[in-house]
Amino acid sequence: MSILVRTIHRLFVIEMKEKYDKLLSKTKEIQVVGEIQQLMGWDTEVMMPKGAVMQRSEQQAYLAMHNHHKQIDPEIGILLKEIKEDKEFENLSFIEKRNIYLIQRDYDKATKVPPEFVAEFTKASVIATEVWKEARKENDFAKFLPHLEKVFELSKKLANYLNPDLHPYDVLLDFFEPSMSIEKYNEIFNPLKEATIELIRKCNESPNKPDKTIIKRKVPLNIQEKISLDIMKLLDYDLERGRLDTAAHPFTTGSYDDVRITTRYLEDNFTSSLFAVAHEGGHGCYDQNIAKEQRYLPVGNYCSMGVHESQSRFYENIIGRSKSFWWYYLPRLKEISEEIFKDVEYKEFLLAINRVEPSLIRVEADEVTYNLHIILRFELERDLFEDKIKIADLPELWKDKMKEMLGVDVPNDSDGVLQDIHWSGGSFGYFPTYTLGNVYGAQFFAKLKQDIPDWNEQLEKGNVNVLTDWLKKNVQEKGNLYDPPELVKEVTGEFLNPNYLIEHLNEKYSQLYEF
């Protein structure tokens, strides 16, 4: 190249770089404001004095509005357009292009929906959630019905704003989990459903009956707190960059160097907190472990809800309820809890914490039956959006499906169709990501077993970090470098395949229940 051409070329590159940097400084600010919102949300649940509810809602409303304004800043749109039209665009690195892609995706989400509609949707879902609380308390679906119908209609409208060319439920499924659709979920959930029903039948027929009384032994809170700290250390959750508190419903919030998890302690069910700490600890480790060099970039976020859930469920179930882990941990638990579990045998303990037991409530369900609770919700949502069923028919359909899939009689709507908050808030399409987390997790696990053939001996020795390091390196550090399907391909060399979960469950539970 001549000097002139080189100089012009460099000027273009500089101009492009400046635009790119400006764009990233804008999205970094959005992230920083988001972190402040997370802190306030945490404080609201964990620390805030009761009387401050109204004052806090003013603060939260202000920051939400402020952040929304930043998200819809027209300059973001202009910069995106200019960068993409620039001749130099093709010369951007993989990560730079991915950042641009993610910024465009978020910008579209924030700007395709008119502000008046956002206000209408927010208002309707806030009211619906309040009515849902009452309706659940009073077992009165009829009271909730018109509000749920309204929120459902608005959800369809939202989908239409986001992408008028696609089926609305496909739009919402993709909204909560990038690249998912009705068809893809059908492909995963249909075989999983069939296999799970069969597995539950076998467990039920087994002569091995779990002894639940073991886990109902009273464990004082100070001992449960010791167990929590011990579990967090084993899982490599970094307490220098996080903390554990108690909240009404366990959750995780924060990012990078400030990731906080919560649990709740029940004196007569110590496993409730133990597995909550493992679950939230898994979420927490993911947020802590995203690669340092990706921080504050769009690729420095987590990949998706489903992948986040894959980590929490990996820590809670695949590690936390495994045969190998408890070979190591039961003696340690006996030591920490002094006399309480002295007489407990390994095999009966393992069966007690892994009992398969069809029940009414999703959040209390075990590792096996849980997925059917999700598939039930997915099928209802799908049929609603395909106009095959009506909102008004949900209570009866719920009962039928619970009987059909889990063999459970639903005695009332409070413990049936009214049990979850999600629909009242307009989150149609969210539920499936929970089970997707299990599907991802099992596929990761299959690859981990190939990479670390002695994984179970390591667990038996208490070297949990051999597994968590693998997850960190292969999944967590990558943040949002890939959409979920590509991440799964990148990590495991294969596209998503529900058979890994089916095999994992069949293998684990046939051993436990001996069939």
Contact string (CB under 8 A) for its own copies, positions 15-34, x = contact: --------------x--xx-
Is residue 55 a contact point for its own copies (CB under 8 A)? yes
Q: How far is the CB of 49 from its own copies (least distance, A)?
A: 5
Q: Binding its own copies by CB under 8 A: which of 156, 216, 226, 241?
A: 241
**Count of residues touching its own copies (by CB under 8 A):** 32
Interface positions, 392-411, toward its own copies (CB under 8 A): none
Residue 242 binds to its own copies (criterion: CB under 8 A): yes
User: Which one of the spans 60-68, 376-384, 435-443, 449-457 is the region binding its own copies (CB under 8 A)?
Assistant: 60-68
Given a contact cutoff of 8 angstroms between Cβ atoms, the answer to whether 381 and 429 are in contact is yes
> What strand order describes the sheet that includes 242-246?
242-246, 258-263, 252-255
* Binding of its own copies by 58 (CB under 8 A): yes
Q: Backbone phi, then psi, for 145, in 5-degree steps?
A: -50, -55
Within 8 A by CB and 6+ apart from 245, the residues are 46, 47, 260, 262
Whether 103 and 80 have beta carbons less than 8 Å apart is answered as: yes
Residue 96 neighbours by CB under 8 Å, 6+ apart? 20
Among 52, 78, 221, 392, binds its own copies (CB under 8 A): 52
Phi, psi of 242 (to 5 degrees): -175, 180
216 binds its own copies (CB under 8 A): no
Residue 251 sits in the site that holds its own copies (CB under 8 A) = no
Q: Catalytic annotation on 280?
A: yes
Residue keyed to tokens 């999944």: 475
Quick check: 470 and 451 in contact, CB under 8 A?
yes
Interacting residue with its own copies among 19, 26, 40, 474 (CB under 8 A): 40
Q: Does 291 bind its own copies (CB under 8 A)?
A: no
Q: Does 225 bind its own copies (CB under 8 A)?
A: no
- Given a contact cutoff of 8 angstroms between Cβ atoms, the answer to whether 318 and 183 are in contact is no
208 makes contact with its own copies (CB under 8 A): no
Closest C-alpha among 208, 205, 196, 204 to residue 513: 208
> Residue 101 class from Cβ within 10 Å (0-12 exposed, 13-18 middle, 19+ buried)?
middle
Report the nearest approach of its own copies to the CB of residue 285 (Å): 14
The one catalytic residue among 280, 309, 316, 381: 280
DSSP 178: T
Judged by CB under 8 A, does residue 415 bind its own copies? no
Q: Which stretch binds its own copies (CB under 8 A): 12-20, 54-62, 195-203, 218-226?
A: 54-62
Beta carbons of 308 and 286 less than 8 angstroms apart: yes
Return the active site residues: 280
Chain residues that interact with its own copies, rule: CB under 8 A: 29, 32-33, 35-36, 39-40, 43, 47-52, 54-56, 58-59, 62-63, 66, 238-243, 256-258, 260
